[in-house]
Amino acid sequence: MSATPTATTAEATSTERVQQHRRYLMCRPVHFTVSYSINPWMEPSRPTDTNLALQQWQSLYDTYTSLGHEIELIDPVEGLPDMVYTANGGFVIDGVAYGPKFRFRERAAEAPAFIDWFAASGFEVAEPVEVNEGEGDFLLVGDTILAGTGFRSTGDSHREVGEVFAREVVSLTLVDPRFYHLDTAIAVLDPVEGPGGVEKANIAYLPTAFDERSQAILRERYPDAIRVSDSDGSVFGLNSASDGKNVIISPRAVGFEAQLRERGYTPVMVDLSELLLGGGGIKCCTLELRGGAR
């Protein structure tokens, strides 16, 4: 499918995008491998190159720091190869960290590691009762939390995250197993806050990753959203990170790159092809830390 923006090219390119400072949690993939399969991308029989994964991860780290963003690091744990995907390690707003509770036993031991890091780093920790995989399935768009379900986080976690943060939660159902977390099918493009207060939030998304009810919600709430093609979605083009101006994306998402430029964003290409073998991309390796001690 092709995507046709609702704004005209003249209107889009005249928009002045404002870069916002970001603070991220990352984890070096020193133990990265694919030794089990919990998503369609993972094939244990396919060789992985840990050194290449480290090099690609370092490129992402260096890109963030070159743009002026702040990076915190959590120590990798041997035997937990998916810790590199820090987005699944929690959801943080205003210094409160809602901890993860992983669906699969292969990742279960990551939860205490992340919760302990948050506590030691000065965050107020909200321990989860319900199964949730952090910012993989919770995205902050303005004052609203978009929450994904269908493959990992349960619907009950949507209620729980709403209670923790006292914010509106909009539930969306994923239906394509390739896009098993919300952050593989939606990218939050605009800053939560800009000069003069809250700006109009904007997203990009892959319509075919969602059921019809969720597609209708997204159309109604975000009429100016970028709708990406299946070809760009299938290379994890939406698993990206934005500071409101610069959008870090896969170099293979060429259609999405053009759409971003048309809207006045600056695409920055970072190749994480080796980490995609584990079912993760740029956003998966990036957990935003909103508030809390420094």
Residues with a known catalytic role:
181, 284
At 232 the three-state DSSP class reads helix
Strand blocks (E) in the chain: 23-26, 70-73, 91-93, 96-98, 124-126, 138-141, 144-149, 169-173, 186-188, 193-194, 197-198, 203-205, 226-227, 241-242, 246-249, 266-269, 287-288
β-pairing verdict for 169-173 and 144-149: parallel
Beta bridge partners of 96: 93, 124
CA-based end-to-end distance of the chain:
44
Cβ-contact 187, 146 below 8 angstroms: no
What DSSP state is assigned to residue 197? E
β-pairing verdict for 124-126 and 70-73: unpaired
| Those residues with Cβ within 8 angstroms of residue 131's Cβ, 6 or more apart along the chain or in another chain | 101, 102, 103, 152, 153, 154, 156, 157
Cβ-contact 22, 63 below 8 angstroms: no
